[in-house]
Amino acid sequence: MSRIFSKYQGGGVHISGSRPVQGLETGDPSQKRFSGVVPPAAPLIFLALLCIAGAILWLDHNETLTILLLHPREVTADETPPPEEPSDICKNQRTPPAGSAALPRGIVQDKSNFEFEPLGRNPEMKELPPAKSLLAIPVGIKQKTVVDKLVSKFPAANFTLMLFHYDGVVEGWSDLPWSRRAVHVAAADQTKWWFGKRFLHPDLVAEYDYVFLWDEDIEVDDFDPLRYLDIVRKEGLEISQPALDRRSKIHQQLTARARRGGAVHRRFYKTVGGGRCYGNSTGPPCTGWVEMMVPVFSRAAWRCAWRMIQNDLVFAWGLDFKLGYCAQGDRTMNVGIVDSEYVLHRGIPTLGDAGDGKPATAAAGRSAVRQRSSTEMQIFNRRWSEAVAEDECWTDPYPEPPTATTKD
Ligand SMILES: *[C@@H]1O[C@H](CO)[C@@H](O)[C@H](O)[C@H]1NC(C)=O
Ligand SMILES: *[C@@H]1O[C@H](CO)[C@@H](O)[C@H](O)[C@H]1NC(C)=O
């Protein structure tokens, strides 16, 4: 695809390499209830109840759940079922994605991707694309060298690349060999989570096995993306991050590279002082948790996490502690830190730095940004508590307070 570079003009959002995005939200209400973590026994009870009621439970790619209620009827051995009237068939169809009821089913495509199309290719001869993952990074031109090294580690055959230009500078990257295969999105002074919420809708990234939503100030000398993917698949990690080299700016000990060898760790221990973590700790920051600087999400985990990101809380403080709800099961097992492939976090305060949120931008002073970050955390936690209180159908799979924060 020949790319159209939009010159950056302050205030606007520009995408090159992809078409404008419309009608993202499918609004499928059945998806909502089942995208989170469900306590282990609940699905079984639910299934049993449905079977008794003579219903069929239909799981579609583990992502949407649709219930087809059949008319109960007596079954005899030689009875051939009467042919279904068209009206019955229509009744039994799945709820169409919002907005598509006016169209014949077969024409509706509710998912897309960021793959470039060679314009001269015969569209009849479409071969199945190889499985890929997505690397998305907020970048500023000042970090060009370190971003170049980072991106160059990710093979083009296995990763689609998306850059979020928070300084609006797009042309400055065009001399790099990989620049033409990247999708470039520019919006002035916006954060990683602002971009992620707006441009990584789950229906747009549904083809990618994993979503890497990374900060830019990351050194990858000891990191191999393909080996990382192997480990994550083998260990069943739905949400993960590479361990942080101990020379990094480390905010939480769980994410530091384990001193003892091994591919992965899922918890850490702290048996003295405040904030203790034991083998029986069940939640963050002892276990079931990663930091927001280099997270990697499975397709299913991202589908859930994207829904938890709040449009207006652009620093996403507080979100990390709740990510375990998107782990597709037990967060102490499905969330982990990969030690054998690790990175160095330079800790340069930029808009990409979700860790301590001190971007030095023209638009906002550091102290204003820091203030906003912590206010956002209060708002997010308040919304969470209110949502829990209001939703009578929701059961908290992690009801106990994290043991780590137990005071002495
Ligand atoms: C990377 O891409 C190549 C070429 O499509 C493929 O053969 C290989 O299996 C991929 N590796 C992984 C880990 O997906
Ligand atoms: C967890 O383990 C620690 C140390 O073994 C112990 O002191 C504590 O009481 C345990 N907590 C729970 C909730 O079992």
- Tell me the two tokens of residue 19: 């078409």
Q: Is the CB of residue 196 less than 8 Å from the CB of residue 302?
A: no
Residues with CB under 6 A from ligand 1: 130-131, 157-158, 226, 229
The residue contributing the CA closest to ligand 1 atom 4 is 157
Q: What is the CATH number of the domain that holds 236?
A: 3.90.550.10
User: Ligand 2: distance of its center to the CA of 278 in Å?
Assistant: 7
Count the Cβ atoms, other than its own, within 10 Å of residue 46: 14
Ligand 2: atom nearest CA of 280 is 1
Domain membership of residue 5 (yes or no) is no
- Point out which residues pair with 241 in neighbouring strands: 337
Residues 6+ apart with CB under 8 A from 252: 285, 289, 291
Report helix, strand and coil shares of the chain as percent, to nearest 5. Answer: 30, 15, 55
Ligand 1 atom with the smallest distance to the CA of 133 is 14
Atom of ligand 1 nearest to the CA of 131: 14
| Confidence (pTM) | 0.77
* Residue 193 is assigned to a structural domain of this protein: yes
Distance 132 CA to ligand 1 centre (A): 8
User: Which ligand sits closest to the CA of 133?
Assistant: 1
How far apart are the C-alpha atoms of 18 and 37, rounded to whole Å?
33
Gap from CA of 336 to ligand 1 centroid (Å): 23
Q: Is the CB of 403 under 6 A from ligand 2?
A: yes
Whether the Cβ atoms of residue 272 and residue 322 lie closer than 8 Å to each other: no
Question: Which tokens hold the place of 344?
Answer: 């160095």
Determine the residue of 269, 277, 403 to mutate for testing ligand 2's pocket, defined as the one with the most ligand atoms within 8 A of the Cβ atom: 403
Ligand 1 midpoint to CA 29 (Å) = 36
Could you tell me if residue 315 is inside a domain? yes
| Residue 26 pLDDT | 43
8-state DSSP, 144: H
- pLDDT at residue 230, as a whole number: 98
pLDDT at residue 86, rounded to an integer? 61
Pocket test for ligand 2, best of 272, 276, 280, 408 (most atoms within 8 A of CB): 280
**Tokens standing for 189?**
């002074």
- Gap from CA of 280 to ligand 2 centroid (Å): 6
Q: Is 394 in the pocket of ligand 2 (CB under 6 A)?
A: no
Closest ligand (CA of 154): 1
Token pair for residue 371? 């203030």
Instruction: Answer whether 271 contacts ligand 2 (Cβ < 6 A).
Output: no
Quick check: is 29 in a domain?
Answer: no
Residues 6+ apart with CB under 8 A from 35: 63, 303, 304, 307, 326
Whether 307 maps to a domain, the answer reads yes
The pLDDT value given to residue 83 = 61
Q: Is 298 among the domain residues?
A: yes
For the CA of 129, the nearest ligand = 1
Do 197 and 218 meet the contact criterion of CB atoms below 8 Å apart? no
Let me know if residue 47 belongs to a domain: no
Q: Is residue 325 part of a domain?
A: yes
The number of the ligand 2 atom at minimal distance from the alpha carbon of 403 is 13
Closest C-alpha to ligand 2, atom 3: 278
Q: Sign (positive/negative) of CA torsion 261, 283, 135, 158?
A: positive
With H, G, I as helix, E, B as strand and everything else as coil, classify residue 121: coil
Mutate to test the pocket of ligand 1, among 128, 153, 158 (most ligand atoms within 8 A of CB): 158
Ligand 2 within 6 A of 278 CB? Answer: yes
Number of Cβ within 10 Å of residue 239's Cβ equals 26
Please give the distance, rounded to the nearest whole angstrom, from the Cα atom of residue 327 to the centre of ligand 2.
Answer: 25
Domain hosting 286: range is 14-22+130-269+282-390
Ligand nearest to the CA of 280: 2
- Distances 6 to 176, 246, 250 between C-alpha atoms, Å: 18, 41, 38
Per-residue pLDDT of the chain (408 residues), as tens digits, is 334 333 334 445 555 544 434 434 444 444 444 444 444 555 555 444 444 443 333 433 444 443 343 444 444 445 566 666 666 666 666 677 788 889 999 999 999 999 998 898 888 887 788 899 999 999 999 999 999 999 999 999 999 999 999 999 999 999 999 999 999 999 999 999 999 999 999 999 999 999 999 999 999 999 999 999 999 999 999 999 999 999 988 888 899 999 887 899 999 999 988 889 999 999 999 999 999 999 999 999 999 999 999 999 999 999 999 999 999 999 999 999 999 999 999 876 655 444 443 344 545 688 898 999 999 999 999 999 999 999 999 999 998 665 444 443
Closest listed ligand to the CA of 157: 1
Q: Per the structure, how many domains does the chain have? A: 1
Instruction: Say which residue the tokens 């340069």 belong to.
Output: 348
Cα 359 to averaged position of ligand 1 atoms, centre (Å): 36
At residue 352, the pLDDT reads: 46
Beta bridge partners of 14: 186
Long-range CB pairs of 153-159 (<8 Å, 24+ gap) are: 153/220, 153/223, 153/224, 153/225, 154/225, 155/225, 155/226, 156/181, 157/130, 157/132, 158/130, 158/132, 158/133, 158/225, 158/226, 158/229, 159/132, 159/133, 159/134, 159/135, 159/212, 159/225
**Do 346 and 146 touch, CB atoms closer than 8 A?**
yes
Nearest residue (by CA) to ligand 2, atom 6, is 278
